[in-house]
Amino acid sequence: MTKSLEDYLRAVHDLSRDSGSARVADIARSRGVSMASVCEAMHRLDREGLANHSAGESITLTEEGQRQALRLSSTHEFLLHLLRDVLAVDPEDAEKDACSMEHFLHPDTLSHLVAFSQFVDSRTPGGLSLKEAFQRSEPDGCEMLPSPRGRHGRWRREPAGPCMADLQVGSRARVLHLHASCPVRRRLADMGILPGVEFELVRRAPLGGPVEIAMEGFSLTLRRGEASKIEVEPLP
Amino acid sequence: MRRISVALAGNPNTGKSTIFNRLTGSSACEGNYPGVTVELACGSRTCGDRRLEFMDLPGQYSLSPASSDESVAVRYLLETPPDLILDVVDAANLERNLQLTVQLAALGLPMVIALNMCDEAAAAGRMPDPAVLSARLGVKVVRTIGRTGIGLEELVQALVEASQDGAPPRMQALGEDVDAEISRIAAMLPPLEVDGRGIAAMLLEGSEEAAAAVGRAAAGASARILEAAGTASRKLERLYADPVQIVLAGLRRGVASGLVMESVGPSRRRSTGPDVTRRVDAVLLNRFLGVPAFALIMYAAFWLTFRASAPLERLIADAFGALAGLASTLIPDGAIRSLVADGVIGGVGGVVLFVPAIAILFLLISLMEDTGYMARAAFLTDGLMHKVGLHGRSFIPMILGFGCTVPAVMATRTLEDRRDRLATILVLPLLSCGARLPGYLLVIGAFFPRHKALMLAFIYSVGIALALAAARILRKTVLRGEDSPFVMELPPYRLPTLAALARHVWRRVRHYLAKAGTVILAFSIVLWFLGYFPRQAAGADATAAVGGSFAERLGHAVEPIVRPLGFDWRIATAMIGAAGAKEIFVSQMGILTSLEGGQGRDLTSRMAALYDPGTGLAIMLFLLISAPCLATVAMVRRETGSWGLAAAQYAGLTALAWVIAFLGKWAFGISRFF
């Protein structure tokens, strides 16, 4: 069965579960396709012995069709759970990815994923479950993917605009974003480098050493690596 | 008598230790760079019928610690909450300091604020009004100047009153969304010794210390609470589109700047001209002048060490000479006289001789630390440190290493990454400690009288260069890994107080004298014994008195190995002794040469008569590099948890010492022809 046929099977199942009947027009509307393509698909489902389709009537699933639809539906639910609740993926992205993953995962892979999900969700005596530990952990691991959006998109490592390290000696700027990894970011924030704060780049140390910045009441030195992770807005 | 426990908390380098020392009369380490205090120190003071027990915590920028020394402070506050928090705040840097104050206030413990360094704030025209801060934060606020002790009596009074009053500070609102989440989580918490809202805020930030505190109070409910905190922080992150730590830090910062606005008035940014610190830094940290200035300052320190200590040294040498003479006239000839005159006076005296030089060198190093120049040195040299793969924070243990390797190894605890820490520990013995100084001074005095400061600077530089090279090799091979971050505060220049300088120097000299009175005395007696017995038959000529002694036999056994370095059996024996403690080299050379009937002339001229300058150079190099002393070995074992590493370091350094000393002697020989 092709991916699109599986999707139709699930659509029929969901519609007849939710509204009692599934007609070609309803399916076309729910999937945003033409009625002709729905008819074509329904014929194929009929041929496969998964649905009963005759002109003018609503579509019903055969027993085999019901079974397959249920399997697909529970796979989908599980993958959505795995992505959204365990891996803490953005719910919208999780829905989309679950929809595509459900079609191509080998049944064995799927059962392994189920076991893994149960494993990380089980509690260790007295402590956090692995799932909770993961969700509370720093988002660094996720930043390896060059994803522009999603949960960790805004924590990407590289600033898009000018960074502190690019500034001329003696110029002033305002901090926009901290792109550093989590412990550094926290340290910078605690030491007073926060979005919105203004500073002056006082000097650079020789031999590619750190930069010194002066803020209201105190001076800090940062290595150039760290300074290049701080996105700034130069001030006149 | 009622006991009141007071914890001194605050940002690094706000003068907590100075106030602590003033209040309790102790001598905890203090200096003008962040991270001086790495462990807890306690002391007490009586006031009326109350006994204030102070605990000096390592400085912290927030309650979510980034390194192990900061987590010491947080764990202390949560595990054994004190009766009072004394929040030491730098009045000249109020906004950033109050960020932590807001966090501390949320813990709900009675608090007193010391507005420290008021003189600097007043000079900058930004003196906060204590009454306003006090009203807004609901705590007593006292102006202090820790350096001079101004305001400390009022501070003690305020502490006593606050402990009677017992009122918690006013909780600062961070904003509806955050406060709602904090209250919701706080309501789930079991009863704790500190305010639940403080803990809840820490849980939102993912604090392990707070999670542990909750776990101790209610193991059963902790998973549910942590899950709720995790959900809440994700909710806030979605709301503010920023990591939760930055959200909370930003909100606290907002509260802090509001407080500054009210208590100081609107900031007059750049209204005054460049201050002293900026003007001095314009020269000392200049792009081109900075590094030469650093080199010049270090060289001047070595030069002064020699020039200023020479007259005092002569006095001490004369005193010990007279003492030895006195012993010879009082005690009848024989083993006892030899023990006292040659062993005890010769051995210990040779070491005590160098007390002035050590005191002066450490006076100068303390001067650099207390003025704030040391942090600048770290700034200037970090580029180089970075290139060899060492962490910027390795700099502080390395500076300590010039004093004594043992506390330096302990100070590596401020390094978070284990590989950074191991690399630093392994190369630390190459930074020449104070115990090796007497050996250098002896050799330089004997062989290089015309280039004293230059030779001393040279031997220290060789140590530094080898340490950096070794670190580079270690970080490229066995200890490969990513660099960890380095963010450091540059303190303004400050005038050190005489009292603080005197404390630093005295601590160092006391340590040195204690060693002379114990370990070195014991070794001197053992070595005298080895050098004196077994006695030869009467009639043997004086110069061969040591001949056939245990020391000579031991020395002769080792001699073939060190012969290529120009060492004879005497140096070999002394080097074996120096493996216990480096100063012993000097005392043993003193004993061995004086047993041979060299009394009357001082050790320096005896050395000059016995050996050539090439051998002198080899002695210095060998003393610098070889076998770290026993105390260092024990400390390396303790801090790394591995005998293997300690042994590898020992063997590696000793082998390296042989090679470098050989090359040094050879190169010196060659250079003679030019």
Residue pLDDT, tens place only, B483-523: 666 788 888 888 888 888 888 788 778 877 887 777 778 87
Pair (B46, B184) in one structural domain: no
* pLDDT mean over B395-420: 76
Task: Give me the residue from A180, A190, A206 closest to B249, CB to CB.
Answer: A190
Q: According to the 3-state scheme, what is the secondary structure of B451-482?
A: CHHHHHHHHHHHHHHHHHHHHHHHHHCCCCCC
Contact B387 A223 (CB under 8 A): no
Pair (B564, B633) in one structural domain: yes
Asked if residue B92 belongs to a domain, the reply is yes
Contact A190 B483 (CB under 8 A): no
Pair (B342, B420) in one structural domain: yes
- B88 vs B112: CA distance, rounded Å: 9
- A162 vs A174: CA distance, rounded Å: 11
- A28 vs A35: CA distance, rounded Å: 5
User: pLDDT of B140-162, one tens digit each?
Assistant: 999 999 888 888 999 999 999 99
- A172 vs A190: CA distance, rounded Å: 21
A148 vs B60 pLDDT, higher one:
B60
CB atoms closer than 10 angstroms to residue B379:
26
User: What residues of B are in contact with residue A208 (Cβ under 8 Å)?
Assistant: 383, 386-387
User: What residues of B are in contact with residue A178 (Cβ under 8 Å)?
Assistant: 246
Find out whether B527 and B551 touch, Cβ atoms under 8 Å: yes
With bands split at pLDDT 50, 70 and 90, how would you rate the model's confidence at B104?
A: very high
Residues 6+ apart with CB under 8 A from B34: B12, B13, B59, B375, B488, B489, B491
Contact A219 B384 (CB under 8 A): no
User: pLDDT of B330-387, one tens digit each?
Assistant: 888 778 888 887 778 877 777 787 788 778 877 887 888 888 888 888 888 888 888 8
Residue B89 in 3-state DSSP? strand
Pair (A170, A106) in one structural domain: no
In chain A, which residue's Cα lies nearest the Cα of B14? A218
User: pLDDT of A54-67, one tens digit each?
Assistant: 766 778 888 888 88
A210-219, B344-353, B471-480, B578-587: which range is least confident on average? Answer: B344-353
Say what the pLDDT of residue A213 is: 92
Handedness of CA B525, B528, B530, B533 (dihedral sign): negative
Task: Give me the residue from B64, B66, B287 closest to A206, CB to CB.
Answer: B287
Q: H or E stretch including B7?
A: strand B2-9
Asked if residue A177 belongs to a domain, the reply is yes
Task: Give me the residue from B92, B230, B483 closest to A217, CB to CB.
Answer: B92
- B296 vs B313: CA distance, rounded Å: 25
Say what the pLDDT of residue B16 is: 86
Q: How far is B238 from chain A, CA to nearest CA, in Å?
A: 9
Pair (B231, B135) in one structural domain: no
> Domain boundary residue among B165, B184, B205?
B165
User: What residues of A are in contact with residue B392 (Cβ under 8 Å)?
Assistant: 210, 223
User: What residues of B are in contact with residue A191 (Cβ under 8 Å)?
Assistant: 61, 96, 487, 489
What value, to the nearest 5°, has the Cα angle with vertex B390 and ends B407 and B41?
30
Find out whether B201 and B106 touch, Cβ atoms under 8 Å: yes
Radius of gyration from C-alpha coordinates of chain B:
29
A197-201, B239-243, B545-549, B652-656: which range is least confident on average? Answer: B545-549
Going by C-alpha positions, the residue among B574, B580, B579 that lies closest to residue B522 is: B580
How would you classify the pairing of strands B111-116 and B41-47?
Answer: unpaired
Pair (A23, A106) in one structural domain: yes
User: What residues of A are in contact with residue B9 (Cβ under 8 Å)?
Assistant: none
Lookup: tokens for B14: 């706000």
B450: DSSP letter: T
* pLDDT mean over A2-10: 83
Asked if residue B416 belongs to a domain, the reply is yes
In chain B, which residue's Cα lies nearest the Cα of A130? B223
* pLDDT mean over B286-312: 84
> Domain boundary residue among B132, B165, B198?
B165
Residue B92 has pLDDT above 60, yes or no: yes
Q: Cα dist. B59→A81, B371, B415 in Å? A: 44, 19, 15
Mutate to test the interface with A, among B240, B487, B490, B494 (most CBs of A within 10 A): B487
DSSP per-residue string spanning B560-597: HHHGGGT--HHHHHHHHHHTT-TTHHHHHHHHHHIIII
User: What residues of A are in contact with residue B205 (Cβ under 8 Å)?
Assistant: 186
Residue A192 — left, alpha, or beta (φ > 0 → left; ψ -120 to 50 → alpha)? left
> Domain boundary residue among B109, B131, B165?
B165
Asked if residue A139 belongs to a domain, the reply is no
Report the CATH number that the domain containing residue A35 is assigned in CATH: 1.10.10.10
Pair (B379, B349) in one structural domain: yes
Asked if residue A122 belongs to a domain, the reply is no
Going by C-alpha positions, the residue among B59, B70, B16 that lies closest to residue B413 is: B70
Residues 6+ apart with CB under 8 A from A3: A100, A103, A104
* pLDDT mean over B49-58: 86
With bands split at pLDDT 50, 70 and 90, how would you rate the model's confidence at A200?
A: very high
How would you classify the pairing of strands B140-143 and B111-116?
Answer: parallel
Asked if residue B273 belongs to a domain, the reply is no
Q: How far is A82 from chain B, CA to nearest CA, in Å?
A: 16
Report the CATH number that the domain containing residue A189 is assigned in CATH: 2.30.30.90
Q: H or E stretch including B3?
A: strand B2-9
Radius of gyration from C-alpha coordinates of chain A:
27
Asked if residue A9 belongs to a domain, the reply is yes
B383: DSSP letter: H
pLDDT over 90 for what percent of chain A? 6
How would you classify the pairing of strands A172-178 and B84-90?
Answer: unpaired
Contact A205 B250 (CB under 8 A): no
- B406 vs B399: CA distance, rounded Å: 12
Q: What is the mean pLDDT of chain A?
A: 79
User: What residues of A are in contact with residue B381 (Cβ under 8 Å)?
Assistant: 209
B481 vs A4 pLDDT, higher one:
A4
Residue B64 has pLDDT above 90, yes or no: no
Say what the pLDDT of residue B270 is: 47
A–B: how many Cβ contacts below 8 A?
Answer: 154
Q: How far is A101 from chain B, CA to nearest CA, in Å?
A: 26
User: What residues of A are in contact with residue B243 (Cβ under 8 Å)?
Assistant: 139, 155, 182, 185-186
Asked if residue B549 belongs to a domain, the reply is yes
User: What residues of B are in contact with residue A183 (Cβ under 8 Å)?
Assistant: 66, 485
Q: What is the mean pLDDT of chain B?
A: 83
Lookup: tokens for B309: 């200590």
Say what the pLDDT of residue B539 is: 42
Pair (A1, A66) in one structural domain: yes
Pair (B152, B105) in one structural domain: yes
Contact B488 A220 (CB under 8 A): yes
Q: Which of A127-131, B410-414, B609-613, B670-674 has the highest mean pLDDT?
A: B609-613
Residue B598 has pLDDT above 60, yes or no: no
Per the structure, the count of domains in chain A is 2
Asked if residue A125 belongs to a domain, the reply is no
Q: Where are the alpha helices (DSSP H) in B82-129?
A: 94-105, 118-123
Asked if residue A93 belongs to a domain, the reply is yes
Going by C-alpha positions, the residue among B221, B155, B167 that lies closest to residue B190 is: B221
Pair (B501, B425) in one structural domain: yes
User: pLDDT of A140-192, one tens digit each?
Assistant: 433 333 333 334 433 444 667 788 888 999 899 999 888 777 677 778 888 88
Going by C-alpha positions, the residue among B151, B213, B132 that lies closest to residue B19 is: B151
Pair (B107, B199) in one structural domain: no
> Can you give the residue range of the structural domain that contains A83?
1-111
Q: Which of A162-176, B58-72, B219-233, B274-288 has the highest mean pLDDT?
A: A162-176
Residues 6+ apart with CB under 8 A from B246: A178, A185, A186, A189, A194, A195
A122-131, B528-537, B634-643: which range is least confident on average? Answer: A122-131
User: pLDDT of A93-135, one tens digit each?
Assistant: 888 888 888 888 888 888 888 888 888 777 655 566 676 666 6
Pair (A102, A189) in one structural domain: no
Contact B489 A191 (CB under 8 A): yes
- A59 vs A38: CA distance, rounded Å: 11
* Structure ipTM over 0.85, yes or no: no
Pair (B78, B213) in one structural domain: no
In chain B, which residue's Cα lies nearest the Cα of A187? B66
Task: Give me the residue from A180, A190, A209 closest to B383, CB to CB.
Answer: A209
State pTM to two decimals: 0.69
Contact B485 A178 (CB under 8 A): no
pLDDT over 90 for what percent of chain B? 18
Task: Give me the residue from B242, B245, B290 closest to A206, CB to CB.
Answer: B290
Say what the pLDDT of residue B220 is: 78
Residue B69 has pLDDT above 70, yes or no: no
Say what the pLDDT of residue A137 is: 54
Find out whether B128 and B54 touch, Cβ atoms under 8 Å: no
> Domain boundary residue among A90, A111, A132?
A111
* pLDDT mean over B565-571: 87
Per the structure, the count of domains in chain B is 3
Going by C-alpha positions, the residue among B31, B42, B200, B12 that lies closest to residue B106 is: B200
Lookup: tokens for B413: 């605890």
Task: Give me the residue from A185, A205, A208 closest to B243, CB to CB.
Answer: A185
Pair (A7, A107) in one structural domain: yes
Pair (B187, B157) in one structural domain: no
Q: H or E stretch including B116?
A: strand B111-116
Asked if residue B581 belongs to a domain, the reply is yes
- Nearest 10 degrees: CA dihedral of B535, B540, B545, B547? -80
With bands split at pLDDT 50, 70 and 90, how would you rate the model's confidence at B115?
A: very high
Contact B96 A191 (CB under 8 A): yes
Pair (B228, B313) in one structural domain: no
Residue B455 has pLDDT above 60, yes or no: yes
Exposure string for B26-49, b = 16+ CB within 10 A, e = fewer? bbbbbbbbbbbbbeebebbbeeee
Say what the pLDDT of residue B38 is: 59
Pair (B161, B95) in one structural domain: yes
pLDDT over 70 for what percent of chain A? 82
- B37 vs B39: CA distance, rounded Å: 6
- A190 vs B247: CA distance, rounded Å: 11
| Residue B10 CA from chain centroid, whole number | 20
Report the CATH number that the domain containing residue B137 is assigned in CATH: 3.40.50.300
Residues 6+ apart with CB under 8 A from B276: B492, B493
Task: Give me the residue from A182, A190, A219 closest to B61, CB to CB.
Answer: A190
Task: Give me the residue from A129, A187, A207 closest to B383, CB to CB.
Answer: A207
Q: How far is A68 from chain B, CA to nearest CA, in Å?
A: 35
Asked if residue A134 belongs to a domain, the reply is no
Say what the pLDDT of residue A92 is: 80
User: pLDDT of B192-249, one tens digit each?
Assistant: 888 889 999 999 888 888 888 888 888 778 888 888 888 888 888 878 877 888 889 8
Asked if residue A152 belongs to a domain, the reply is no
- B341 vs A182: CA distance, rounded Å: 65
What are the contacts of A151-157 at 24+ separation with CB within 8 A?
A: A151/A88, A151/A89, A151/A90, A154/B241, A154/B242, A155/A179, A155/B243, A157/A181, A157/A229
What are the contacts of A77-84 at 24+ separation with CB within 8 A?
A: A78/A110, A78/A113, A78/A114, A78/A117, A79/A105, A79/A113, A81/A117, A82/A113, A82/A117
CA atoms within a 13 Å half-sphere pointing along the CA-CB vector of B233? 25
Say what the pLDDT of residue B407 is: 72
Mutate to test the interface with A, among B245, B259, B385, B468 (most CBs of A within 10 A): B245
* pLDDT mean over B106-125: 88
Q: Cα dist. A2→A5, A65, A104, B282 in Å? A: 5, 14, 10, 73
Q: How far is A166 from chain B, CA to nearest CA, in Å?
A: 17
> Can you give the residue range of the structural domain that contains B36?
2-165
